[in-house]
């Protein structure tokens, strides 16, 4: 069983790596960012609350986020293990997660941190765009759709830039997340769960490194 956390600053490639991990290991992908974006699109109570933080690049309060994760992790489709992408992001969330995994009896097996320098992160985020229909992620520099103006995944033709990928917001997002990053890594380092991977490599090579870690764990 693999129950994995992917750590990494905004743009480190958590979503990109998750897709490849899901393809091979059939884990359930849980991205708090994706869940919030869906809630915002549906204008739910959580979505409206989250929007006021996300659009400025700030963190949604720990308790709101942890509740969302506990509900999701408690669902029956999570039998082959899970990837948490973007949660936890603070040591308070990491401690809340300890309680959640105990209550649900779904203990963590691995924590992988994707390390990318700030200059690359800014470049990646400013070049990212998304499919309006299915949310698939593209990049003007490294990942254009295979057929011009057509989503590889759903065939959609409309794309958009995430509100929080605009340059003013990116700066704050990086600052907010950088502050929490080292304490979070220390937390899992002490538990002997952490592996650090060079996220500057190609997506293929990043996955190869992750695969080496995970295949040792099966």
Counting runs of H as helices and runs of E as strands, what totals does the chain give? Answer: 8, 8
Q: Is 134 annotated as a binding residue?
A: yes
Stretch that binds ligand AP5, among 71-79, 80-88, 99-107, 190-198 (CB under 6 A): 80-88
> Residues 6 or more apart from 185 whose CB is under 8 A from it?
7, 113, 194, 196
Residue found by looking up tokens 């029956």 in the block? 76
Which of 1, 41, 48, 134 is the binder for Zn ion (CB under 5 A)? 134
| Residues forming a β-bridge with 174 | none
- The window from 8-16, 97-105, 106-114, 152-160 that contacts Mg ion (CB under 5 A) reads 8-16
Does residue 206 touch ligand AP5 according to CB under 6 A?
A: yes
For residue 192, count other CB atoms closer than 10 A to its CB.
7
3-class DSSP assignment, residue 181: helix
C-alpha R_g of the chain: 17
- Which DSSP string do the residues of 109-128 spell out, in sequence order? -EEEEEE--HHHHHHHHHHE
Are the C-beta atoms of 151 and 157 separated by less than 8 Å?
yes
173 a catalytic residue? yes
Could you say which residues in the range 13-42 bind Mg ion, by CB under 5 A? 15
30 contact, one of Zn ion, Mg ion, ligand AP5, none, CB 5-8 Å limit per kind:
none
Binding residues for Mg ion (CB under 5 A): 15
Active site residues: 14, 89, 128, 162, 173
Binding residues for ligand AP5 (CB under 6 A): 8, 10-16, 31-33, 36, 53-54, 57-60, 65, 86-89, 93, 124, 128, 137, 139, 142-143, 164, 173, 202-203, 206
Binding residues for Zn ion (CB under 5 A): 131, 133-134, 136, 151, 153-154, 156
């Amino acid at each position: 069983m693999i129950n994995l956390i992917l750590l990494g600053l905004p743009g480190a490639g958590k979503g990109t790596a998750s897709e490849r991990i899901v393809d091979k290991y059939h884990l359930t992908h849980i991205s708090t960012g994706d869940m919030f974006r869906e809630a915002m699109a549906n204008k739910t109570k959580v979505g409206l609350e989250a929007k006021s933080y996300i659009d400025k690049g700030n963190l949604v309060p720990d308790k709101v986020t942890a509740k969302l994760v506990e509900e999701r992790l408690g669902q029956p489709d999570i039998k082959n293990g899970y990837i948490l992408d973007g949660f936890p992001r603070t040591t308070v969330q990491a401690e809340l997660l300890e309680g959640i995994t105990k209550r649900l009896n779904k203990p963590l097996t691995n924590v992988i941190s994707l390390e990318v320098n700030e200059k690359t992160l800014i470049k990646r985020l400013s070049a990212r765009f998304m499919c309006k229909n299915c949310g698939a992620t593209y990049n003007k520099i490294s990942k254009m759709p295979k057929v011009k103006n057509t989503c590889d995944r759903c065939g959609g033709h409309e794309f958009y830039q995430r509100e929080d990928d605009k340059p003013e917001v990116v700066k704050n997002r990086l600052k907010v997340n950088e502050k929490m990053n080292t304490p979070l890594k220390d937390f899992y380092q002490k538990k002997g769960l952490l592996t650090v991977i060079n996220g500057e490599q190609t997506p293929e090579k990043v996955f190869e490194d992750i695969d080496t870690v995970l295949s040792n764990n099966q």
